[in-house]
A and B are shown apart, each in its own frame.
Chain A
Amino acid sequence: MLHLAATLAGARFAGGDAHAGQSRVLNVANAERSEQADHAALITLVETIEALSATRTIEEVAAVVRSAARRMSGADGVCFVLRDGDQCWYLDEDAIGPMWKGQRFPMTACISGWAMLHGQTVVIPDIYADARIPHDAYRPTFVKSLVMTPVRPRDPIAAIGAYWAVGQTPSPDTVIRLETMARATAAAIENARLYASLNEALERRTFLLRELDHRVKNTLASVQSIARQTLRAAASPADFADSFESRLMGLSRAHELLTRQAWGRTDLRDVLEAALQPFGGLADPRFTARGPAIALTAETAVVLHMTLHELMVNAAKHGALTSASGQVTVAWRIETVDGVASLALEWVERGGPPVFVPKRQGFGTKLLERGVARDLGGEARLTYQPKGLSYALRAPLSDRIAAEAAPRVPA
């Protein structure tokens, strides 16, 4: 466009051949001055584009735009307006007097909104003669005339406004310069946004790595505990290997379930289903399960899974699951006692061989009585009745156990 302006000046000079010599000299001087001005504008524009390409945040973009736009337009004030949903956010300004820095207006109630909604530059020589202008917002300011140009006209993300303290029609050159600035600004804003989202992604990655490290170490600590305590109760190396591997597989199934839920909340019934998987899950007719939807945090799901795993293994070795006619009923409900709502869960075995109180407390028993209950601030009780073992767990509802459906994560 600067080239175009220079060509127009040249044509005017060529056409002025018929005029007097003095006028010709004047024309030459004018043309030279105009060329110098174009040259200065071009350099300013290149410098601005260079400065914009080095910006990393919207605030930096705004800082470059406000001073460059003012220099290039010769305006008394410049505003940098960002689109924020259906609002215009007057992010920054550079002017002889205060305008609207930091304020937000609805897109439909200000001229920057009009320029963005229509995707076109608007030139207003006398703001008080134009109905699109919210006059009340302008009265405290110096502004009498303005140019407002949208950034990325097809899908505007911002606008640049230039304002004058006198009523006047800004020159076409001024308008073109502002529009050129707006084009350079569009790329800078998109870069700043890309940079911000990249930074966010990097921070998220660092956070996830740290979280992964934490989870791995905690899981290893659990495995360490399982190994040591299984060893304490093991009668032989083969017995240790059997029990340890069974518990390790249980832990692995619990983690599979959690990964499926993206380590979010998991439903109690899904935890039960996963724990009983070695028996084909709840589809085995010996199992009966009933209870409302209960959402558990990942950690709680793991420890409850381990509890149910121990009960299942014990039932398979000594209890109801040793016979085809055995029955295991798992029932849970919310009970409120003295204003405290708790989860009450029961595992009841029937139809197995007669039950005897074990001579010594193994790891399984310890985990059942002190594991999940300790974690949840509740209590647990194992009862050895001849007709079958039963286990009762009571734990107050908390941020770990909620009486609500866990969100289903699609497989």
Chain B
Amino acid sequence: MTTPQDAPQDAPKDAPRIMIVEDEALVALMVEDLLTDFGCRISGSFGAVDEALAYLSGAAVPPAALDGAVLDVNVGGTMVFPVAERLRAAGIPFVFATGYGALPRQGFEDIVVLNKPIDPILLEDAVRGFRRAA
């Protein structure tokens, strides 16, 4: 369910490459558009945790083909944390985006949480953080 080929990719070559994990296609389409507007490239957009994990098994190997990720927390009933752990192990920064007010996320207390609906300004700030880290 990757999208690079059909999403407009007129971003510069050094644009941060971002992965999206979001089970609601409608929200994913918007995040893809927003990130593209912020000058990012969408390296992959996934609706399920196992799809994201399968993608990461290649992309997270150094040198990482990924500069950051936006993760929904409850992805169709499956918690996204295995993806978050894999990203952290690979040193790839990420943020959570969730409609749940408070979620059990032991070990990820330091990660930025964007609430839904997503404030584009906060999303842009988070992406800038990725760029610095990259």
A binds B: yes
Interface residues of A (CB under 8 A from B): 210, 213-215, 217-218, 220-226, 228-229, 232, 299, 303, 306, 363, 366-367, 369-375, 377, 399-400
In-complex Cβ contact of B30 among A210, A213, A229, A377 (8 A) = A229
Q: Give Cα A8 to B6, complex, Å.
A: 99
In-complex Cβ contact of A228 among B1, B33, B76, B115 (8 A) = B33
Contacts of B34 in A (CB 8 A): 228
Q: Give Cα A306 to B24, complex, Å.
A: 12
Q: Report the interface size for chain B: residues with CB under 8 A from the other chain.
A: 26
In the complex, the answer to whether A218 meets B116 with C-beta atoms within 8 Å is yes
Contacts of B27 in A (CB 8 A): 218, 221-222, 225
A36 to chain B: closest CB distance in Å?
61
- Given A217-B115, A217-B117, A221-B99, the answer on whether A375 and B47 have CB atoms closer than 8 Å is yes
Q: Give Cα A367 to B32, complex, Å.
A: 13
Q: Give Cα A138 to B28, complex, Å.
A: 69
Contacts of A370 in B (CB 8 A): 3, 6, 25, 29
A132 to chain B: closest CB distance in Å?
54
In the complex, the answer to whether A210 meets B101 with C-beta atoms within 8 Å is yes
In the complex, the answer to whether B116 meets A220 with C-beta atoms within 8 Å is yes
In the complex, the answer to whether B115 meets A225 with C-beta atoms within 8 Å is no
Contacts of B28 in A (CB 8 A): 374
Q: Is chain A's interface secondary structure helix, strand, loop, or mixed overall?
A: helix
Q: Is B48 an interface residue (CB 8 A)?
A: yes
28 A–B contacts, CB within 8 A, in A order: A210-B100, A214-B100, A215-B99, A217-B99, A217-B100, A217-B117, A218-B27, A220-B117, A221-B30, A222-B24, A222-B26, A224-B117, A225-B29, A225-B30, A229-B30, A303-B25, A303-B26, A367-B26, A370-B6, A370-B25, A372-B25, A374-B28, A374-B45, A374-B47, A375-B23, A375-B47, A377-B1, A377-B48
Q: Give Cα A196 to B99, complex, Å.
A: 31
A307 to chain B: closest CB distance in Å?
10
Q: Give Cα A224 to B77, complex, Å.
A: 22
Contacts of B33 in A (CB 8 A): 228-229, 232
Contacts of B101 in A (CB 8 A): 210, 213-214
Q: Give Cα A366 to B3, complex, Å.
A: 11
Q: Give Cα A386 to B61, complex, Å.
A: 48
Contacts of B23 in A (CB 8 A): 375
The 9 A-B residue pairs with the shortest CB-CB distance, nearest first, are A225-B30, A217-B99, A221-B116, A224-B117, A371-B25, A374-B25, A218-B99, A221-B117, A225-B26
Q: Give Cα A393 to B131, complex, Å.
A: 38
In the complex, the answer to whether B25 meets A375 with C-beta atoms within 8 Å is yes
